[in-house]
Structure 1
Amino acid sequence: MNVTTTENQFVEALEAADFAFTRRAWVDAAPARVYDLISDVSAISRWSPNADKVTFDPEAGPTVGAWFSGRNRKDGKEWTSRSQIVRADPGAAFAFVVGGAENGIVRWEWTLAPQGRGTVVQQSWRLLRLDPVLGTTRTELDALRRYMTNSVETTLASLAQWLAEEPTR
């Protein structure tokens, strides 16, 4: 029997770890200031082209274990996601997992390193597990990674610009 396959036929051959990236930008603010901004998830719409109306659950804040919700947009679609903070190191790192720490689908992480009078901000995105909602083929998941990479680059550039123009340091 002669079987012909394409890269798009076998989801089981895909590994979630293959769909990750990291981008960096220097911003004109101290790590503590940058941390305060990025850990205030309600401010994400200032920088992100894809997320808004992000709010912590009642009486929650930027601490490990806290939950928040946000509205997301992509390709003309909108949805609400739930995320849980998994790392909160003031002035150093902030991370959350979409779907929660136990069964999440995507990990977002920001790390901060002082450099000169500012900070190198590193933002990472990583699939934790494959899920049909994100795509079922290598082509779809590669497209998602490219889309998210562009989103992160826009977010970092917007954050840097906002900090450069913001009078409060």
Structure 2
Amino acid sequence: MSLNAEASLNAPNATGRIEIDAAPETVYALVSDPGKLADLAEEYAGHRWVGGTDGPVVGAKFRGRNQRGFRRWSTLSTITDADPGRRFGFEVTSFAGLPVARWQYDFEPAPDGCVVVESMWERRPGWFKVATSTVTGVWDREVANIANIAATLARLKRAAEASR
């Protein structure tokens, strides 16, 4: 089973939804650009494309810089979905290649723009959760990600609606 099929069968560990008064393609352009997404996200702080890719296409990889207070860590993300105005998703792995999470943004048309649903699926093995909690300072990742998603979606709404 593909990761996308697996994700669609299992409920996400954290999710949020917001209606935005902007076209789905406009909002997609903000979340599918890792540089712009860093301006909106709570812990994600920046990126560097790796492997010769420099754009959000399926298979492209980027090294993510993350921070929470004084704590900093990096991840490697691989884009799995890049369907403009419909879905953007990526799988995140640790510095050692261990699975961390899947992040996905789904876009649905709405009368005045679109509805955006941001979702996260936990992928870390149990023992790895303890190790990463020490690095990130987050002991309840689900609760933290629900709050992070709400903050990210609010910023996304402001940015997309301001660009109209």
Per-residue deviation, 1:122: 0.2
Alignment of 1:99-118 (within 5 A): 99=93, 104-118=99-113
User: What is the RMSD of the two structures over their aligned residues, measured on CA atoms?
Assistant: 2.5
Question: Mind listing any 5+ residue stretches in structure 2 that lack a counterpart?
Answer: 1-9, 132-136
Is residue 45 of structure 2 the alignment partner of residue 48 of structure 1? no
- Asked if structure 1 preserves the Cα contact closer than 8 Å seen for 2:12 and 2:119, the reply is no
- In structure 1, the residue matched to 2:4 is none
2:153 to 148, 151, 156: 156
How many residue pairs are counted as aligned between the two chains? Answer: 147
- Asked if structure 1 preserves the Cα contact closer than 8 Å seen for 2:24 and 2:109, the reply is yes
- In structure 1, the residue matched to 2:122 is 127
Higher helix proportion: 2
Structure 1: 4+ residue segments shifted above 2 A: 55-60, 102-105, 131-136
- Asked if structure 1 preserves the Cα contact closer than 8 Å seen for 2:92 and 2:99, the reply is yes
Alignment of 1:14-53 (within 5 A): 20-53=13-46
- Asked if structure 1 preserves the Cα contact closer than 8 Å seen for 2:53 and 2:61, the reply is no
% same residue: 29
- Asked if structure 1 preserves the Cα contact closer than 8 Å seen for 2:63 and 2:77, the reply is yes
**Cα deviation per residue 1:1-30 (whole Å; 9 max; x = unaligned)?**
xxxxxxxxxxxxxxxx78712210011110
- Asked if structure 1 preserves the Cα contact closer than 8 Å seen for 2:57 and 2:82, the reply is yes
Per-residue deviation, 1:77: 1.0
For 1:143 and 1:19, the matched residues in 2 are separated by 15
Is residue 136 of structure 2 the alignment partner of residue 143 of structure 1? no
